[in-house]
Homo-oligomer: A and B are copies of this chain.
Amino acid sequence: MPIPPCAPDRVRRVACIGAGVIGGGWVAHFLARGYDVTAWDPAPDAETKLRRLVDAAWPALEQIGLAEGASPDRLTLAATLEEAVADAEFVQESAPEKLELKRSLLAQLDAAAPAGVVIASSTSGYPMTDMQTEATDPGRLLVGHPFNPPYLIPLVEVAGGEKTDPAAVEWASAFYKAAAKSVITMDRELPGFIANRLQEALWREALHMVANGEATVKDIDDSITEGPGLRWAFMGPCLTFALAGGDGGMGHMLDHFGPSLKSPWTRLEAPELDDSLRTAMVDGCDEAAAGRSIAQLVAERDQGVINVLRATGRLPEQRNEGGDK
């Protein structure tokens, strides 16, 4: 693949292909960050819906703070795919999740986009290796997987396929960072990437529970928002569980709760908790702690939970309702 025509932090013009919930969310994000955005979507009412989505998102984006010169007026709807990408310095594809569609669409985009311009797919789970089969220059095709809504949730997972040029992966990661996203660059293709594998495991367990009458939709949602979800907004599942180990951290937690991995607490079989996995988890948590003691982490977690409780309206001004005192 030729060298991308501009540096990741010099991009001004982005093309968004597909303008549904995710594609439209990307449009809103790039507009708010001050880019010129050209969008294309074959649906007859695409423009109306897209402008409505951007208008609905704009007040939120104003709250966050717009980039200088950012405006919904910098959105152009293109009549054709070719027109949409003709001047683009980056292309984000967010078509429906159909492998054949993605394959041919990416080949069309590759044929139409200026040489060297990186083309990212928002796919929720297809590996790029399976999608880049029909393109002439597969080296510039990669996955840039966002979360809904892309204009507010920072995460983008970046992963190339077998034929993707590592330089394109590096360029895209730098571009997304410049566009105010939080990037995880993967060194391999993994179905569902990382966050979706995690939330999909949770989601499948939830579906099983509803299917078997073990819990209602409300139980499931409440169990997360009133429980682990309050911690996960700022501290991930690994570091959170490390704090369940008291002063012993992740090591003690694994030794104490390790036997539970044999229990049928979910339909997902656990891996063998051997020395190598134990070490990887303990070392990973030590690294994440970056010198902070367990006591410091506990204090940070506590303040974080309080901040989230307050931010989500769950700390009334007066809270003296406990007991009958």
- Complex alpha-carbon distance, A57 and B229, angstroms: 20
The residue that A237 contacts in the complex, of B224, B267, B284, B323, with Cβ under 8 A, is B224
Contact B12 A324 (CB under 8 A): yes
Contact A197 B201 (CB under 8 A): no
Contact B64 A284 (CB under 8 A): no
Contact B288 A237 (CB under 8 A): no
A166 → chain B, closest Cβ, in Å?
A: 18
| Copies of this chain held together in the complex | 2
Contact A184 B222 (CB under 8 A): yes
Contact B325 A180 (CB under 8 A): no
Contact B232 A265 (CB under 8 A): no
Known: A180-B319, A196-B265, A198-B202. A257 touches B210 (CB 8 A): no
Known: A225-B233, A325-B67. A277 touches B201 (CB 8 A): no
Surface stretch bound by B, among A79-87, A106-114, A133-141, A146-154 = A146-154
Q: Is the CB of A4 closer than 8 A to any CB of chain B?
A: no
Contact B205 A70 (CB under 8 A): no
Which residues does chain B contribute within 8 Å of A11, judged by CB atoms? 323-324
Which residues does chain B contribute within 8 Å of A261, judged by CB atoms? 204, 207
Contact A192 B305 (CB under 8 A): no
Contact flags (1/0) for A222-252 with B, using CB distance below 8 Å? 1111111111111111111101111000000
Q: Which residues of A contact B (CB under 8 A)?
A: 9-12, 20-21, 32-35, 56-57, 60, 63-70, 96-97, 124-125, 147-149, 152-155, 157, 178-180, 182, 184, 186, 188, 190-192, 194-211, 214-241, 243-246, 256-257, 259-261, 263-273, 276-277, 280-281, 283-285, 287-288, 295, 298-299, 301-312, 314-325
Q: Can you pick out 14 interface pairs between chain A and chain B where the beta carbons lie within 8 Å of each other?
A: A9-B323, A21-B245, A34-B322, A56-B298, A69-B325, A152-B230, A192-B264, A197-B209, A201-B267, A220-B238, A222-B236, A225-B233, A232-B233, A233-B233
